[in-house]
Amino acid sequence: MFTLPQLPYDYTALEPHIDAKTMELHHTKHHQTYVDKLNAALEKAPEWADKSIEVILCNLDKVPEEVRGAVRNHGGGHYNHSLFWESLMAESHNGPTAKLKEQIEKDFGSFEAFVEQFNAAATNQFGSGWAWLVATKEKTLKIIATPNQDNPIMTDMTLNPLLGLDVWEHAYYLKYQNRRPEYITAFWNVINWQKVEERFTTSE
Ligand code: MN
């Protein structure tokens, strides 16, 4: 059985960039629902119930067809939100350091150019979805956008998602209404770069 992870900070921690009400609903309602529906789907595919979420999402084609759609949507939702919460922290203002900073400059030209490309991916994702910074198995960096609750490991299990941004309306509508670009700009103030760096350096 999958369970809702605790947030590593209070609902108010990301104010004013991401408001407490949004955080609370997003965590206790949206993420909880993904967990509950994933568990319900896996009751019909018990051979998958003891696998890690990563293993399940990397092998969706082997999950019984009857529950594959539900596992993709709700399992994706669980994985994506778990990664998202851990990627955030109260006002950080620092950027990437060390190896990650170096690789960003190598692959995108500069940190500013990277931010611009990431923002474009997040802004231009039509409808609901996510923007991602991923490391390839060669440890180069790429920006990817995915629809719905899809994520990069579903299509390429060698990719290592370092940072994800939820651009579903439920992630920002209470505070920003239709102004997705304002929410995307605010996101850069609350990134836990130490965590992102850790994901980059601890992968093989
Ligand atoms: Mn969400």
What band does 203 get if pLDDT is binned at 50, 70 and 90?
low
DSSP E strand boundaries for the chain: 129-135, 141-147, 160-166
Residues 6+ apart with CB under 8 A from 168: 128, 129
CA of 62 to the centre of ligand 1 (A): 26
CA of 114 to the centre of ligand 1 (A): 23
Counting Cα atoms < 13 Å in the Cβ hemisphere of 139 gives 13
- Dist. CA 7–CA 85, nearest whole Å: 6
pLDDT tens digits, residue range 157-185?
999 999 999 999 999 999 999 999 999 99
Instruction: Report helix angle 180-187 to 111-124, nearest 10.
Output: 150
CA of 106 to the centre of ligand 1 (A): 31
What pLDDT shows up at residue 92? 74
pLDDT at residue 156 tops 80: yes
Q: Phi and psi at residue 164, in whole multiples of 5°?
A: -135, 145
Q: What is the mean pLDDT of the chain?
A: 96
CA of 168 to the centre of ligand 1 (A): 6
What pLDDT shows up at residue 204? 53
CA of 159 to the centre of ligand 1 (A): 21
Higher pLDDT, 32 or 203: 32
pTM above 0.85, yes or no: yes
CA of 102 to the centre of ligand 1 (A): 30
Phi and psi based region of residue 168 (left: phi greater than 0; alpha: psi -120 to 50; beta: remaining): beta
